[in-house]
């Protein structure tokens, strides 16, 4: 019983504060004289000048079609386009013949040279039929990878391509004279 009394006595200040807050809220909402008048902000000034250009629906469609989904998604899309072109071209008569001709080579060097010619023809044809610059760049990358796989630098170094602008040769220091 004594515990009940202390519990009620402890909660009494909270009940009084709540009722005072409620009375203040009701009195402020019922007394219209104390409410301030609402402030109306002035309308923003109109900037005169040329109106902004609104793109057409076709331009918006193209912008959304070109948005990238990420590097992996772009790579997968380009690879699918590359594979589609490859499947269309790979069974051309002269390409089949060039591939078979490379398989009949008698030496490894001769086979690498024939495969290099085959890859050049194959990828040049694919590049001619590619629709976008992005796909052409991907085809060039694939061509470089296939051509690089033909190099056998441990067996016999493949000739390196000659640079278009030759650098000036560096002057070597003179060799010391031989002892006599």
List own/partner pairs for 151-160 with CB under 8 A and 24 or more apart: 152/108, 152/112, 155/108, 156/109
Q: What pLDDT digit, counting tens, does each position of 84-106 carry?
A: 888 888 888 999 999 899 889 89
pTM: 0.48
**Encoding tokens for residue 12?**
């009494």
**pLDDT tens-digit readout, 15-62:** 555 555 555 555 555 555 555 677 777 766 766 667 778 888 888 777
Number of other residues whose CB lies within 10 A of the CB of residue 40: 6
């Amino acid at each position: 019983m004594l515990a009940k009394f202390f519990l009620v006595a402890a909660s009494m200040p909270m009940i009084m504060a709540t009722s005072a807050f409620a009375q203040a809220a009701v009195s402020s909402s019922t007394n219209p004289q104390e409410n301030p008048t609402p402030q109306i902000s002035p309308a923003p000034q109109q900037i005169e000048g040329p109106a902004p250009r609104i793109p057409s629906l076709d331009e918006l469609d193209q912008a959304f079609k070109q948005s990238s989904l990420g590097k992996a998604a772009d790579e997968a899309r380009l690879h699918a386009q590359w594979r589609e072109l490859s499947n269309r071209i790979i069974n051309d008569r002269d390409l089949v013949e060039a591939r078979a001709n490379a398989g009949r080579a008698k030496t490894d060097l001769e086979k690498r040279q024939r495969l290099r010619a085959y890859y050049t023809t194959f990828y040049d044809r694919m590049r001619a039929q590619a629709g976008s610059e992005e796909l052409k760049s991907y085809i060039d990358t694939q061509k470089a990878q296939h051509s690089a796989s033909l190099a056998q630098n441990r067996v016999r170094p493949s000739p390196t391509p000659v640079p278009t602008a030759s650098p000036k040769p560096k002057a070597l220091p003179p060799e010391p004279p031989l002892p006599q």
